[in-house]
């Protein structure tokens, strides 16, 4: 005996904006859902139809205007580790996260790794969405394509296939699902591969952009004693692992932040203007105590803060220490 494909339908037509928002929050557990501004366009017949295709899910999403956020705290809490693919059908669909982002046009295919942060801004949006397990892709790493739109002709072919698959849903039966899921995942992998190859070629440029954002964030927040790797990763919308990898050649995140704090303190100690108490300088650059600051300062410069103020400092950075270039750059910038 055959049976149709299992499905679920959510119809939000006729509900007030507040009631629709609560319904979306209840049915979208993988994201924090908030309302868009009042000027954003709405759509007719908002709602959701989901088909359970065994190891994958397909959804006709008529979302309208919402803001969806996949944040680190939620990722840690729900441990959802799948890949979300969307084919744009209408409206505006913009996302940013993990140092990348996309503005998806109708017919394009976007990729989101649910194990990474992402913020999505929807205005009158409709889409066909697919959720697949990460492990089903074999050796391909979909995380590298997080927050991107797929490129190449294979991506267009995959979008056409999903549209055709949705149209065929009323005629499919449960015994078809295993084969359909396998074909769907394989075809997605074909569309994903050119984008991953392009991302690999672009990796150095992406890292340089992230590094510039990291440096700017550190410089603007040196005074904050809670400038931890975790806090920085959240602010930059990247994972801690990505941040640690990015700063590996600089001796690590904490070492870089400490070096920048000490360089800022050294410049202030050598300022020819009215002297600022050493304890105050220590707090201004994010150290919890004067004792902690003095110990770190001596380790970096080979003298005490008092001796540095008197003009007795000696730079002791190793030639192999990449942070030395940043220290010299700081000094050059402060020359008048």
pLDDT at 331: 41
pLDDT of 136 reads: 85
What parts of the chain have a pLDDT lower than 50? 1, 313-336
CA distance 102 to 53: 28
Question: What backbone phi and psi angles, to 5 degrees, belong to 118?
Answer: -160, 145
pLDDT at 299: 86
pLDDT at 323: 43
Question: Using alpha carbons only, how large is the chain's radius of gyration in Å?
Answer: 26
> CA-CA distance, 290 to 186, in Å (whole number)?
60
DSSP 149: E
Total-model pTM = 0.60
pLDDT for 311 equals 65
Could you tell me the two tokens for 45?
């017949």
Q: Delineate the domains of the chain, giving CATH numbers in brackets.
A: 7-202 (2.60.120.10), 247-334 (1.10.10.60)
For residue 211, give the H/E element and its range. helix 177-220
Structure tokens at 270: 């050598």
Structure confidence at residue 329 (pLDDT): 41
Whether 58 and 51 have beta carbons less than 8 Å apart is answered as yes
The whole-number pLDDT of residue 325 equals 39
Q: Output the pLDDT for position 203.
A: 58
Assess contact for 55 and 181: CB atoms under 8 A: yes
Instruction: Render pLDDT for 124-182 as a digit per residue (tens, 0 to 9).
Output: 999 999 999 888 887 777 777 888 898 888 889 999 999 999 999 989 988 888 899 99
């Amino acid at each position: 005996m055959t049976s149709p494909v299992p499905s679920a339908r959510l119809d939000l037509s006729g509900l007030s904006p507040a009631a629709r928002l609560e319904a979306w929050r209840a049915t979208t557990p993988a994201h924090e859902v908030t309302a868009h501004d009042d000027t954003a366009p709405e759509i007719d017949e908002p709602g959701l139809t989901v088909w359970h295709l065994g190891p994958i899910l397909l959804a006709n999403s008529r979302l309208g205007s919402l803001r969806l956020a996949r944040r680190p705290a939620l990722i840690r809490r729900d441990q959802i580790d799948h890949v979300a693919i969307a084919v744009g059908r209408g409206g505006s669909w913009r996302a940013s996260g993990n140092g990348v982002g996309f503005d998806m046009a109708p017919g394009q295919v976007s990729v989101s790794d649910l194990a990474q942060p992402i913020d999505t801004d929807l205005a009158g949006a409709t889409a066909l969405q697919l959720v697949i397990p990460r492990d089903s892709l074999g050796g391909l790493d979909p995380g590298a394509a997080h927050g991107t739109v797929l490129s190449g002709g294979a991506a267009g072919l995959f979008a056409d296939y999903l549209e055709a698959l949705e149209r065929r849903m009323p005629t499919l039966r449960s015994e078809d699902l295993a084969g359909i899921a396998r074909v769907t995942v394989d075809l997605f992998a074909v569309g994903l591969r050119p984008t991953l190859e392009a991302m690999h070629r672009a990796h150095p440029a992406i890292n340089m952009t992230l590094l510039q954002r990291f440096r700017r964030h550190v410089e603007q927040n040196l005074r904050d004693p809670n400038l931890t790797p975790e806090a920085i990763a959240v602010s930059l919308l990247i994972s801690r692992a990505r941040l640690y990898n990015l700063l590996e050649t600089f001796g690590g995140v904490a070492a870089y932040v400490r070096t920048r704090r000490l360089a800022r303190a050294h410049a202030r100690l050598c300022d020819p203007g009215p002297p600022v108490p050493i304890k105050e300088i220590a707090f201004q650059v994010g150290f919890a105590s004067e004792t902690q600051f003095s110990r770190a300062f001596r380790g970096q410069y080979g003298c005490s803060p008092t001796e540095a103020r008197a003009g007795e400092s000696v730079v002791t950075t190793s030639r192999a220490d990449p942070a030395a270039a940043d220290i010299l750059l700081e000094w050059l910038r402060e020359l008048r």
